[in-house]
Amino acid sequence: MVDMDTLVSLCKRRGFVFQSSEIYGGLGSAWDYGPLGVEMRRNIRHLWWRDVVRLRRDVVGLEAAVLMHPRVWEASGHLERFSDPMIDCKACKRRFRADHLDERPWLHYCPAKKDSPFEIPAGAACRHCGARRTLCPECGRGELTEPRQFNMMLKTFLGPVEEAAAATYLRPETAQGMFVNFENVLQSTRRKLPFGIAQIGRSFRNEITPGNFIFRTREFEQMELEFFVNPLETIDGRPADEWWHQHWINARLGWYLRYGIRADNLRLREHAKEELAHYSKRTVDIEYRFSIGWSELEGIANRTDYDLKRHAEVSGHALTYFDDERKTHVVPFVVEPAAGVDRTLLAFLADAYHTEEVRGEKRVVLRFHPEIAPVKIAVLPLLRKRDDIVASAREARDRLARRWVSAYDDTAAIGRLYRRQDEVGTPYCVTVDVQTVGDPGQGEAGDGKVTIRDRDSMTQARVPIAELEGAFERLLGGAPWAPVAAAYPTQSTDPGVDPA
């Protein structure tokens, strides 16, 4: 399993993710996405939107404003309850989440032992004096305060005056945008239950302990679906909300598997009763085995009718659905799959990361599913000093770029160029060589063919330029490499050396 430092370093070196405001020393917990990270995020959003919204007949989209009426947060319960217990160090002033403290080892200055301080494992007591942690895990000297509740809403002020009346919050989840627009969507689309409203957008939380790279940040992007269900209905003998909850748990787990996450690295975790959020009847997390341990990738909650009822109560505006069959108004139940773009990207990166030895050299390869890979095709000229080869390669790239994200690179010899593309997970390289264009000086015509090289098997196929688009339509449309390559003779293995 790849550790976080290796991923952070690869992401910076190859342009996936940069520390925010790095030239000013960096802003803790904020990250910027570079050229490759941006493409990958677009892929993740696109696949989620395609599968959760466009391909379904029962889901529509929405984009609500980040800033909402402050009473939204009163109704949702965020003002009152969206908090974590926080503990401060009286000496170094660092702040910790109380529930995370016992997960860390601590440094102990034991009165029974006069020599230097020593580390005690997470949750354990000192075996000499019996003390439990009372001191800061970072500086080891400061007393810790009692836990206090810390609200994670990020406050801001609208208008020129910073006064209570102008205060509002940056949304901590996109979900509330869907609840407050329930009636607008219902009336404008004339939907029948069950149906869903989906949204992708930024959310903000003043996390006490952000960290682990892009796993927990203060600004992040969510992909959320609120699926509204008629509570009077049953499906297969079960209440409809429970049936749909299970449906979405299965569908969402299947989504990660479909785009290449290994089954061994995914699991479902049922929330215990005491752990359930105030609005939830049942919540199941999809967890990924990150290098920091099994952690939440996505939460799928049965939010019951809590949100619509609360917004009706606080706004004074009834939010119901008229059940034609039963001739009665109902408040729909809501099933909510809620995922994060950033965490999903981190999981795809970690899962794709492989190292192997190829003819005595280390090869780092990101084995991304082609739809996740930021660049699909890299076109590489074998000799950058031959104008006709370069021109042909550039022309091929420009043609392919109309349909797929395609790169051109001539800044190194071919063996090195292949390795660079492997390291960012490009599934296919196309090489234009002397055989492609011929040697006009010697009166030799080219064969008009280029080499496609497959990232995973490192085998190659020689394909007429005119057939490139057809070959990539199949390959990037999901066809496996072997049968496509078999249609073209002259397959060989990646030389692994620099033939230039």
Q: Which stretch binds ligand GAP (CB under 6 A): 139-147, 186-194, 213-221, 443-451?
A: 213-221
- 337 lines the binding site for ligand GAP (CB under 6 A): no
- 340 lines the binding site for ligand GAP (CB under 6 A): yes
- 287 lines the binding site for ligand GAP (CB under 6 A): no
- Nearest to ligand GAP of 283, 431 (CB atom): 283
Q: Which of 217, 230, 421, 460 binds ligand GAP (CB under 6 A)?
A: 217
- 475 lines the binding site for ligand GAP (CB under 6 A): no
- 175 lines the binding site for ligand GAP (CB under 6 A): yes
- 279 lines the binding site for ligand GAP (CB under 6 A): no
Q: Which of 233, 298, 371, 454 binds ligand GAP (CB under 6 A)?
A: 298
Q: Which of 51, 138, 183, 296 binds ligand GAP (CB under 6 A)?
A: 296
- Nearest to ligand GAP of 208, 475 (CB atom): 208
Q: For residues 385-404, which are near ligand GAP according to CB under 6 A?
A: none
- 205 lines the binding site for ligand GAP (CB under 6 A): yes
Q: Which of 207, 323, 467, 469 binds ligand GAP (CB under 6 A)?
A: 207
Rounded Cα distance between 418 and 495, Å, is 10
Q: Which of 39, 84, 88, 173 binds ligand GAP (CB under 6 A)?
A: 173
- Nearest to ligand GAP of 337, 381 (CB atom): 337
- Nearest to ligand GAP of 136, 286 (CB atom): 286
- 252 lines the binding site for ligand GAP (CB under 6 A): no
Q: Which of 126, 339, 378, 396 binds ligand GAP (CB under 6 A)?
A: 339
- Nearest to ligand GAP of 205, 419 (CB atom): 205
Q: Residue 204 Cβ, how far from ligand GAP at the closest point, in Å? A: 9
Q: Which of 108, 252, 343, 462 binds ligand GAP (CB under 6 A)?
A: 343
Q: Which of 96, 169, 213, 220 binds ligand GAP (CB under 6 A)?
A: 220
Q: Residue 335 Cβ, how far from ligand GAP at the closest point, in Å? A: 12
Q: By CB under 6 A, name the binding residues for ligand GAP.
A: 173, 175, 205, 207, 216-217, 220, 222, 224, 296-299, 336, 338-340, 342-343
